[in-house]
Each structure stands twice: as C-alpha cells, then as structure tokens.
C-alpha cells in the first residue's frame, strides 16, 4: 500500500500554485492580512529616511565630548530644540548641542546623541558627564533598508510585521494571489442537513460543516455544494459541476469498497486521473486522490474522524501550496512527550487524536478520552493535535517522545 510520505509527494507534485497573472488581485492594505504577496515590493525610500536620534537627549559633536566624565563634565551651549517631525534649521558647531527627541532628524554638524539621563541641564547649557561611543544613538539613513532593493518577495504571507512594512513603504493597494476556491460535497443516502427531521437510518451531514470551517480557516473560498444522494447520475453531475467551479474539490464518503461507494467509478467516467485510492494510514486508508487537469480532487473517507485526519494531513498542505505561498506548505510536526500510552497495530501509520498541554514549558500529549473510533466525532471536541505512530511502531510509552501534527 502507498505510504503516507509517497502519497504526500504525489499530491504536492500535482499542485500548481496560483501564480498566473489572472490569479492576481489588488486589495486594500486594510484587507491584506493573511493574504499572499503576488508581486515583489520595493520602496523608493531609505529606512530610516534620514539620520535620526534613537534617544531623548542631546545631539552633539563627538569630538567635543569624547573625554567627558562625571569628574570632568563637558559644557555645551544649547542652540536648538528639535522635536520629531521637523527639519532642523541649525548646524551644530564646536561647543554646541541641540536638544533632541527620539525619532527627530539629526542636525548638520552633530554626529552623536547623549541620552538625557547622562546629562544635566542648566538654563541654555547642558553638562555632559559621560563619554559616548562615536555615533552612539544615531539611527543612520539606510541602515535598515536601501531604496530600490527588494523590500518584500513574492509568495510570503502578509501578517502584522509585513503589513507594517507595506504601510511604511506607502503601499496602500497590494497585489495578492486570489483565494483558492474549494468546493465541498457530501455523498450518502443517509445524510440530511442539520435543519431536516431525522428519519430512521439517517444522520446529519456533519462533515460538510467541519470541512467548510477548516477551509475557511486557511483563507480559501468555500463553495458548499451540499448533499448528493448515492445515485450515479446525481453524483456525476455534482462532481462535474464542482470541478468546473473550483481549484480543489473535496467530497466525503463513498470511497470504500461497498456497493454504493461510487466515487472512484464516477471520477474515471468523467476522465479524471486517479493517482491513488488507498494510503497506508489509520484512520483514512480509503483516501482517494485524483486530478482533472489542474483541479485537485480529494475523495475523503466518510467516517467523520477519517475525513478530518486526511484533511489535516493532506488537503491542508495542498491548499497552502496552491495558495501561492513560496515555502513551508508542508504539514508541520512537533516533537513532544506522550502523557498517555499510545498504541497501534504497527501495520498502518496511525494518527491518534488528542490534546497538547503546555506543562512547565514542555508540550505533553494526552489522547482523547471516550470511545476511540474513526466513526466517533464526539471525542474530537477540544482536541488540537494528532500523535503519529509510524508503520512498525506498536507502542509509545508515557514519557516517551512522539511526533504530533497540530490541528
């Protein structure tokens, strides 16, 4: 059976990131949070824009004060006061200083700032009682960034630091990649919406809601296509429609070996390339992955836990890669300590759902309580991680290290 690692490689290989010119849209800086930058940003401004003071204090000439001490303070005449926001009009000459504030432009002539705490003011004179380093507390023009070089590269996620940089560079409209479009459908005669009255044999289509929530969290656009009965014609129409509208189609149910598990058959009849129909993992073994050109199709198993585990392990990284992010789309694992014994039959890569607790700065993994079944969605509540036991590993003891995938 195909290993999880090989399945992941096949999926990543099939993902074509949204890098075409038609995939770029212009957004306002205020709505750019969490979007992916689509064109590089440069600025015509140096950062800092001009030499400025890093402290509230006095702008001086180093040569005047390099021998100053508490015993032999240097006395300078204050010839100007320079608040932030103003261009100084003076040149500091030998024996002179300017009162200056943090962020204010350095006056000509001065090259060093003495912080206020190391001085004593006497009317229009200041006593300097410390010898500074040359150019101390001066933030020089271009120290942080030089005009014309690349400020931000394509393919980075925009978060608070990048948004601040864009604002500072006066980019108030930004090119970002459009959000991936993800269509979700559920298949099964037993499924009804939460608003419908349940008849004997029926259950609510909970997968649709869980998957939509996860897709939205990733910043993608969700098309909820609803429930499709286990009828080949309906299913064929629904899948064809989904493929025509989306970059990624996710269905849940109908991928196992039962009489009414039609998904693979329909994918073939619609001309999809089926890459695999089973992965050596539990839960999630019947995961099906296919492509229609650049459109990715994930046929997730219907069991509620299997649907979510396969989403977290494979669909989430695929959405990340598709969204245009330049690096780091892979599933991320943490090494933590097991706080419960974890077991597997050793034949499948096994994903155990539970909760990470931070205890004295160390993450510890607790297996979810209750009935442990891929059909049980109840004990998924308040979990935040999946512990992973590789093939061949049948037991992780309490206190032993284990890899976990954050969910």
Ligand X SMILES: Nc1nc2c(c(=O)[nH]1)N[C@H]1C(S)=C(S)[C@@H](COP(=O)(O)OP(=O)(O)OC[C@H]3O[C@@H](n4cnc5c(N)ncnc54)[C@H](O)[C@@H]3O)O[C@H]1N2
**Residue 314 near ligand X by CB under 6 A:** no
**Residue 349 near ligand X by CB under 6 A:** no
**Residue 255 near ligand X by CB under 6 A:** yes
CB of 132 or CB of 301, closer to ligand X:
301
Tell me how far CA of residue 59 lies from CA of 89, 111, 367, in angstroms. 14, 7, 62
Which of 180, 283, 299, 354 forms a contact with ligand MOO (CB under 6 A)? 283
Nearest to 304 by CA among 203, 371, 207: 207
Q: Are 338 and 344 in contact (CB under 8 A)?
A: no
- Considering only the stretches 124-132, 216-224, 249-257, 392-400, report the one whose residues sit in contact with ligand X under the rule CB under 6 A: 249-257
Which of 189, 190, 221, 340 forms a contact with ligand X (CB under 6 A)? 190
CA 362 – CA 381 distance, rounded (Å)? 23
> Is 387 in a helix, a strand, or coil?
strand
**Least distance from ligand X to the Cβ atom of residue 267, Å:** 13
Which of 205, 230, 261, 339 forms a contact with Mg ion (CB under 5 A)? 261
Nearest to 309 by CA among 358, 268, 368: 368
**Residue 320 near ligand MOO by CB under 6 A:** no
Cβ count near 70 (within 10 Å)? 9
Length of the chain, in residues: 407
Which of 112, 207, 252, 303 forms a contact with ligand MOO (CB under 6 A)? 303
CA 374 – CA 282 distance, rounded (Å)? 9
CB of 175 or CB of 208, closer to ligand MOO:
208
- Alpha-carbon dihedral 165, 46, 103, 129, rounded to 10 degrees: 130
List Cβ neighbours of 137 (8 Å cut-off, separation of 6 or more).
Answer: 53, 54, 55, 57, 112, 113, 114, 115
**Residue 301 near ligand MOO by CB under 6 A:** yes
**Residue 207 near ligand MOO by CB under 6 A:** no
**Residue 180 near ligand X by CB under 6 A:** no
- Considering only the stretches 179-187, 279-287, 338-346, 391-399, report the one whose residues sit in contact with ligand MOO under the rule CB under 6 A: 279-287
**Least distance from ligand MOO to the Cβ atom of residue 214, Å:** 17
Q: Are strands 119-122 and 96-100 parallel, antiparallel or unpaired?
A: unpaired
- Considering only the stretches 22-30, 220-228, 247-255, 301-309, report the one whose residues sit in contact with ligand MOO under the rule CB under 6 A: 301-309
Contacts with ligand MOO, residue ranges (CB under 6 A): 282-285, 301, 303, 306, 374
Which residues of the chain form contacts with Mg ion (CB under 5 A)? 256, 258, 261
């Amino acid at each position: 059976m195909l290993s999880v690692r090989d399945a992941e490689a096949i999926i990543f290989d099939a993902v074509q990131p949204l890098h075409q010119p038609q995939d770029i849209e212009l957004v306002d800086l205020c709505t750019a949070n969490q979007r992916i930058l689509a064109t590089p940003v440069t600025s015509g401004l140096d950062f800092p824009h001009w030499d400025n003071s890093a402290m509230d204090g006095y702008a001086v000439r180093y040569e005047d004060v390099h021998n100053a001490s508490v015993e032999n303070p240097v006395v300078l005449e204050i010839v100007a006061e320079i608040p932030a926001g103003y261009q100084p009009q003076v040149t500091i000459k030998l024996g002179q200083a300017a009162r200056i504030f943090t962020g204010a432009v350095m006056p000509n002539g001065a090259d060093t700032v003495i912080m206020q705490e190391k001085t004593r003011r006497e009317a229009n004179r200041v006593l300097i009682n410390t010898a500074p380093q040359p150019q101390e507390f001066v933030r020089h023009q271009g120290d942080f960034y030089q005009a014309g070089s690349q400020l931000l590269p394509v393919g980075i996620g925009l978060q608070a630091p990048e948004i601040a940089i864009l604002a500072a560079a006066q980019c108030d409209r930004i090119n970002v990649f459009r959000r991936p479009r993800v269509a979700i459908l559920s298949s099964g005669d037993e499924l009804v919406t939460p608003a419908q009255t349940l008849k004997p044999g029926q259950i609510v289509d909970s997968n649709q809601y869980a998957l939509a929530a996860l897709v939205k969290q990733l910043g993608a656009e969700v098309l909820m296509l609803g429930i499709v009965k286990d009828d080949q014609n309906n299913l064929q129409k629904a899948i064809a429609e989904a493929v025509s509208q989306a970059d990624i189609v996710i269905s849940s149910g109908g991928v196992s070996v039962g009489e009414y598990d039609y998904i693979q058959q329909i994918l073939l009849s619609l001309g999809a390339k089926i890459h695999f129909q089973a992965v050596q993992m539990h839960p999630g073994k019947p995961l099906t992955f296919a492509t229609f050109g650049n459109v990715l199709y994930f046929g997730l198993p219907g069991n509620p836990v299997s649907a979510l585990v396969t989403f977290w392990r494979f669909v989430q990284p695929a959405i990340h890669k598709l969204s245009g992010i330049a690096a780091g789309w892979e599933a991320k694992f943490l090494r933590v300590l097991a706080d419960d014994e974890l077991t597997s039959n050793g034949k499948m890569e096994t994903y155990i759902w539970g909760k990470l607790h931070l205890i004295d700065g160390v993450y510890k993994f607790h297996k979810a309580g209750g009935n442990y079944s891929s059909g049980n969605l109840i004990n998924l509540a308040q979990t935040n991680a999946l512990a992973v036991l590789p093939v061949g590993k049948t037991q992780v003891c309490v206190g032993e290290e284990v890899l976990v995938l954050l969910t």
